[in-house]
Structure 1
Amino acid sequence: MIKKLMSYIGEYKRDTLLSPISVTFEVILEVLLPMLMAKVIDNGVEAGNMNYVVKMGLLMLVVAMLSLAAGTLSGVFAARASMGFGKNLRKAMYDNIQDFSFQNIDHFSTAGLVTRMTTDVTNVQNAYQMLIRMFVRAPIMMISALVMCVSISPKISLIFLVALVFLGGVMAFIVSHAFPIFDKMFKGYDKLNASVQENLTGIRVVKAYVREDHENKKFCDATDNLKKMSVHAERLVIMNQPVMQFTVYTCILLISWIGAKMIVGNGSMTTGDLMSLFTYTIQILMSLMMISMVFVMVTMAISSAKRIVEVLDEKSSLTNPEQPVYEVKDGSIEFDHVDFAYGDEQDKEAQQEKCVLRDINLSIHSGETIGIIGGTGSSKSTFVQLIPRLYDVLNGAVKVGGVDVRDYDIETLRNEVSMVLQKNVLFSGTILENLRWGNKDATEEECRHACELAQASEFIEKMPQGYETYIEQGGTNVSGGQKQRLCIARALLKKPKILILDDSTSAVDTKTDALIRKAFREEIPDTTKLIIAQRISSVQDADRILVLDQGRISGMGTHDELLRTNEIYRDIYRLQQKGAGENE
């Protein structure tokens, strides 16, 4: 795990190296100051030699300024290295997530990924900064100060050895007990973020159903759970401070008592030596405090690091072949004995029992319009998601243009298969910026033409700023039908060989739906069109209609053929006709 994370230091290795070098100079200079101070007291103040006091005082000032400069540089280098390390981690995670297949995305919650890229990375970069600065400074300071203490009085130095053993045991106890709590705490952050995300995304539904109290309770439960775990962890961590203070004050009292006896009793120690011992005592114990803080931070960071590495180690279940095909000949589609199941594709035997598509055999000619209909849970969306290789089949093969989709370069294939998903998504930005997701180089005229085909131009032109109208995040300032038409226009701008509409006209009226289908027939006759719909009126003029039932093909044919031969289709048609008659 550490080796994996360290590989993302990248261009910040220089700063990572310069920070401990600078802090080493800072510590050496700091350790010299108490020794110089002892000389001032013994050889200057007590001897009444003011020239010596002034000379040594100036030297101490120079040493202090140099130490300050080295410490400042160390802070700058450490900050640059840690922030850069955090930046590289976030970028690596984000880039890896972009390569995830739908199957990989299913492994992580959205809230969990957000927490990993924010809170977890912040914990790791803060720990990294402390490691390359504080964790270098503290041991060097402690060892150097101990050496100076031993040179002044080996007898008094034994006090520090006892203190070190005691504090080491306390820190080991805190770290061992706090680690599992921090691990649970970060999972609590995931749940809290999920609660916030759901509430803010669905705020209109919450208000429409007057469920504010329910959402408040859910949020409060998540925060209370997180608070309890945080308090539990802090109870352990907070022990560090009083134990440290107890040790510091005990050491000072013992040194004062023993040192005073040595000065007054046999004169084996000077006043200057005792004063420098006090300073070295503070340096040693402050170093121990720094080390304990680093251990606490590292304990938190280890939990975060594991979660980050999980994302970095997740490999896309969809990869390019060694010699990919870079050209899609046409829009023909063939399903050859296709089985599909969600889950880990390595466990094929277990998956076979969970197949949501079974033995699908189908040939679609380039330029055909295929309607797809079936009950809820009949795997209509899963069926079309295999075409642009959003998932891989379990058995059999899906072919586009006569070539297995697994043999194509993924980007090439998806550029030729334009898909409007069931959940339409618009991004924050202008209408033109959203349309150009389909083709970043599309002219405004091409965008307008695509909107005319999708029957979106009329409502766009009525907006105050037209095509420059700003779309809020998630498209909250346009209606469901308007959002669907914008997404269809965006898909058309790709000029694909295959166009898939996954229930993408459900929010538009039947007249607009008919106009969109008419535009498809007249403007893109060579594009293969697959239209999933709940309304038979949306697909009845298709070249052929596919009826799916529980992951199997129940029927295939024209509207009239299916009315004669397929009971499921006939039942759906009768129910919809009856409902239309009652509405009239």
Structure 2
Amino acid sequence: MKNLFPYLKPYRFSVFLIVVFIFLQSLLNLYLPQLMAHIVDQGVFTENIGYIWRVGGLMLIVSIAAVVFSVAAGFLSSRTAARFSKVLRGNLFSHVETFSLHEFDEFGTASLITRATNDITQVQQMVTMMLRMMIMAPLNFIGGVIMAFYTNAHLSLVVVVLIPIIALIIWAIFSKAAALFKAMQQKIDVLNRVLRENLTGIRVVRSFNRTDYELDRFDRANFDLTNTTTRAQKIMAGLMPILMLVMNVSTLAIIWFGGIRINNEQMQVGSLIAFTQYVLQLLFSIMMVSTMFFMIPRASAAANRIFEVLRTTPEIRDLDQSSDSFKREDTPHREEDSKEEHALAADEERGKVEFRNVSFSYPGAEKPALEDISFTAEPGQVTAIIGGTGSGKSTMISLISRFYDVTEGSVLVDGVDVREYPQVDLRSKIGLVPQRAILFTGSIADNVRFGKEDATDDEIRHAVEIAQASEFISEMKDGFESLIDQGGTNVSGGQKQRLSIARALVRQSQIYIFDDSFSALDFKTDAKLRSALKEHVSGSTVIIVAQRVTTVMDADLIVVLEEGRISGAGTHRQLLEDCPVYREIVASQLSEEEIA
């Protein structure tokens, strides 16, 4: 929880005002029992009606002032907590945006969503309570103890006995509940994951009649969370009745012993009333703390999960953020030389991609996904990558965009190792169409403009025409302003792919990467799209990952992968003669007449 305090520093003045308001409120609340004692002892017993009205009016003014300070403190604490959570949520999101794919796999999407929403909400509620109760409770407690001893020191022995008993009760309950609240947050992750998988895969679930199975899976996760929550609530539910019992017994003890002292003329009735009020304030402050203890285990578990993400250092970082072996000497002269080298390389080659003896293994994998890969994709040429499922095609693409770093060797863009580029600069050179076409909620124009924020309407229209998407867009009611549902569920797979291609083309990049991006297109659309692409990307490096031989057979260089190794590289004709793996792929897809 101590990690939260730096996030409250910008709101120091608000916190100061909250402390002042709560302090004044507490002083006024402590003053009220004394006024009540004066009314009873000096007004009621002496039948002095004027004194009762005067002191009663003062009590009303004090009460109103206490309410004003309470409302002001409540408003400031709520606003401060809301702004605190806004900053924390923003920092968490921006930090997650720096993660490599490995960190995403490690945490899981469902868990990251829970941490950014539910966990931060738990912490926000905790901060709201902390800014009020954690300040008010100690003030009321200390003030109640002092005023109780001031009112009657002998009767205060009840308080001395009472406090250790309550502290022991709270500690016993808190220690049992803490572990359960931590488990609750983890089980919310599981429930979130099950729900997310079901909703995103609803078409598959229904097409295979697996609704009952998914309902059962959800029920198991839901019951597991409910069971843990119920156990935690049962433990915490016993806290309030026990405290109330202690409070009532304490009140009886005070009245009993106070009555004896009044009977012996050692205490006045008004003083007993005031003493009872101070002890009740003291007990209520302990109840406030117990309410905090109800929230602390869960909020603490949530805070730890949030800061677990914030403390995670991304594996892939720019050179000026990294201390790996590729970091240069930190001298201004060397940095200037580096900038000149990058500029010269960019002017001379613009888009050249080279793999030099590249090997790559996923974390925890038994064997490399890629091994000793070497080839060059030249600007102005089309380089195709083909191979069976699991041969490493998409992994190779991920290395160019630096979603992962190579284990051995190096990937160069324009003659410079991709690890030496700032990630923003590297990816600004690349127009990527991923294997799975992803669209975002918004209009068609917004989705295409995602590739280039300042793209004009003409540029968007031109990119859409090349991607062969103009026809189906013109048939939509609102054309380019037609809305895309979340995940692109209101367009077909082929339409999603064409919009994804348009999004990459509008960027006008030096390197275009198409990761199996034509698989959902019919042969006619595929052919028309590749023909239109030739003219648009003629000066750029084009890398195509594909399953279809017809998509890659016209490429200037075809790289054939098998189990993470290159089994052949060359043109379609050369590979037919020299590469058995490629001949087998071609034979499985084309007839003898088409091969000839």
Interval of TM-score (by shorter of Structure 1 and Structure 2)? over 0.9
How far apart are the structure 1 equivalents of 2:563 and 2:55?
90
Structure 1's 249 and 580: CA in aligned 2 closer, same or farther, altered over 3 A?
A: farther
Amino acid at match of 2:95: N
Q: 1:281 aligns with which of 276, 279, 282?
A: 279
| Residues 519-534 of structure 1 aligned to structure 2 (within 5 Å) | 519-534=532-547
User: Which residue of 2 is the match for residue 339 of structure 1?
Assistant: 359
Shift of 1:15: 1.4
User: Which residue of 1 is the match for residue 171 of structure 2?
Assistant: 172
Does structure 1 retain, via aligned residues, the 8 Å contact 2:377–2:543? no
User: Which residue of 2 is the match for residue 504 of structure 1?
Assistant: 517
Does structure 2 retain, via aligned residues, the 8 Å contact 1:9–1:88? no
Structure 1's 354 and 177: CA in aligned 2 closer, same or farther, altered over 3 A?
A: farther
How far apart are the structure 2 equivalents of 1:545 and 1:40?
98
TM-score computed with the length of structure 1 as normaliser: 0.95
User: Which residue of 1 is the match for residue 232 of structure 2?
Assistant: 233
Secondary structure at the residue paired with 2:212? helix
How far apart are the structure 2 equivalents of 1:367 and 1:182?
59
Deviates more, 1:571-580 or 1:216-225: 571-580
Shift of 1:281: 2.2
Deviations for 1:275-329, whole angstroms, at most 9, x for unmatched residues?
A: 1122122211111110111122111111001100011112222222234757544
Deviates more, 1:537-546 or 1:317-326: 317-326
Does structure 2 retain, via aligned residues, the 8 Å contact 1:12–1:80? no
Amino acid at match of 2:271: D
| Residues 184-583 of structure 1 aligned to structure 2 (within 5 Å) | 184-264=183-263, 266-322=264-320, 323=335, 325=339, 328-329=346-347, 330-343=350-363, 354-577=367-590
Structure 1's 500 and 580: CA in aligned 2 closer, same or farther, altered over 3 A?
A: farther
Shift of 1:160: 1.6
User: Which residue of 2 is the match for residue 6 of structure 1?
Assistant: 5
Amino acid at match of 1:562: L
How far apart are the structure 2 equivalents of 1:92 and 1:50?
62
Amino acid at match of 1:166: I
How far apart are the structure 2 equivalents of 1:500 and 1:110?
25
Residue identity over aligned pairs, in percent, reads 40
Deviations for 1:101-142, whole angstroms, at most 9, x for unmatched residues?
A: 222222211110111111111111111122221011111101
How far apart are the structure 2 equivalents of 1:580 and 1:166?
93
Shift of 1:17: 2.1
How far apart are the structure 1 equivalents of 2:386 and 2:121?
48
How far apart are the structure 2 equivalents of 1:147 and 1:10?
32
User: Which residue of 1 is the match for residue 326 of structure 2?
Assistant: none
Amino acid at match of 1:217: D
Amino acid at match of 1:251: S
Shift of 1:571: 1.0
For structure 1, list consecutive stretches of 5 or more residues without a partner in the other structure.
344-349
Shift of 1:9: 2.1
Secondary structure at the residue paired with 1:354? coil
How far apart are the structure 2 equivalents of 1:578 and 1:108?
47
Does structure 2 retain, via aligned residues, the 8 Å contact 1:428–1:473? yes
User: Which residue of 2 is the match for residue 346 of structure 1?
Assistant: none
Secondary structure at the residue paired with 1:425? coil
Shift of 1:45: 0.9
Shift of 1:5: 2.4
How far apart are the structure 1 equivalents of 2:158 and 2:551?
87
Secondary structure at the residue paired with 1:377? coil
How far apart are the structure 1 equivalents of 2:498 and 2:148?
79
Structure 1's 479 and 396: CA in aligned 2 closer, same or farther, altered over 3 A?
A: same
User: Which residue of 2 is the match for residue 63 of structure 1?
Assistant: 62
Amino acid at match of 1:270: Q
Does structure 2 retain, via aligned residues, the 8 Å contact 1:332–1:367? no
Secondary structure at the residue paired with 2:316? coil
Shift of 1:18: 1.6
Secondary structure at the residue paired with 2:590? helix
Structure 1's 310 and 580: CA in aligned 2 closer, same or farther, altered over 3 A?
A: farther
How far apart are the structure 2 equivalents of 1:12 and 1:122?
19
Deviates more, 1:128-137 or 1:446-455: 128-137
Shift of 1:365: 1.4
Shift of 1:10: 4.5
Secondary structure at the residue paired with 2:155? helix
Shift of 1:579: 11
Deviations for 1:482-530, whole angstroms, at most 9, x for unmatched residues?
A: 0000000000011011100111110000111111111121221111111
Amino acid at match of 2:87: N
Deviates more, 1:485-494 or 1:238-247: 238-247
TM-score computed with the length of structure 2 as normaliser: 0.94
Amino acid at match of 2:352: S
Secondary structure at the residue paired with 1:505? coil
How far apart are the structure 2 equivalents of 1:17 and 1:230?
36
How far apart are the structure 1 equivalents of 2:387 and 2:156?
83
How far apart are the structure 2 equivalents of 1:117 and 1:160?
44
Does structure 2 retain, via aligned residues, the 8 Å contact 1:416–1:496? yes
Does structure 1 retain, via aligned residues, the 8 Å contact 2:191–2:222? yes
Deviates more, 1:328-337 or 1:423-432: 328-337
Deviations for 1:448-489, whole angstroms, at most 9, x for unmatched residues?
A: 110111111111111111111100010000000000000000
Pairwise CA RMSD: 1.6
User: Which residue of 2 is the match for residue 89 of structure 1?
Assistant: 88
Structure 1's 85 and 580: CA in aligned 2 closer, same or farther, altered over 3 A?
A: farther
Amino acid at match of 1:191: V
Does structure 1 retain, via aligned residues, the 8 Å contact 2:25–2:69? yes
Does structure 2 retain, via aligned residues, the 8 Å contact 1:138–1:287? yes
User: Which residue of 2 is the match for residue 54 of structure 1?
Assistant: 53
Amino acid at match of 2:50: N
How far apart are the structure 1 equivalents of 2:32 and 2:273?
11
| Residues 149-168 of structure 1 aligned to structure 2 (within 5 Å) | 149-168=148-167
Secondary structure at the residue paired with 2:97? helix
For structure 2, list consecutive stretches of 5 or more residues without a partner in the other structure.
321-334
Secondary structure at the residue paired with 2:554? coil
Structure 1's 476 and 579: CA in aligned 2 closer, same or farther, altered over 3 A?
A: farther
How far apart are the structure 2 equivalents of 1:179 and 1:357?
46
Amino acid at match of 1:473: Q
Secondary structure at the residue paired with 1:371? strand
User: Which residue of 2 is the match for residue 347 of structure 1?
Assistant: none
How far apart are the structure 1 equivalents of 2:217 and 2:46?
74
Aligned pairs, number:
572
How far apart are the structure 1 equivalents of 2:439 and 2:479?
16
Amino acid at match of 2:357: H
How far apart are the structure 2 equivalents of 1:115 and 1:388?
28
Shift of 1:7: 1.8
How far apart are the structure 2 equivalents of 1:304 and 1:510?
52
| Residues 13-52 of structure 1 aligned to structure 2 (within 5 Å) | 13-52=12-51
Secondary structure at the residue paired with 2:410? strand
Does structure 2 retain, via aligned residues, the 8 Å contact 1:9–1:84? no
How far apart are the structure 2 equivalents of 1:27 and 1:248?
20
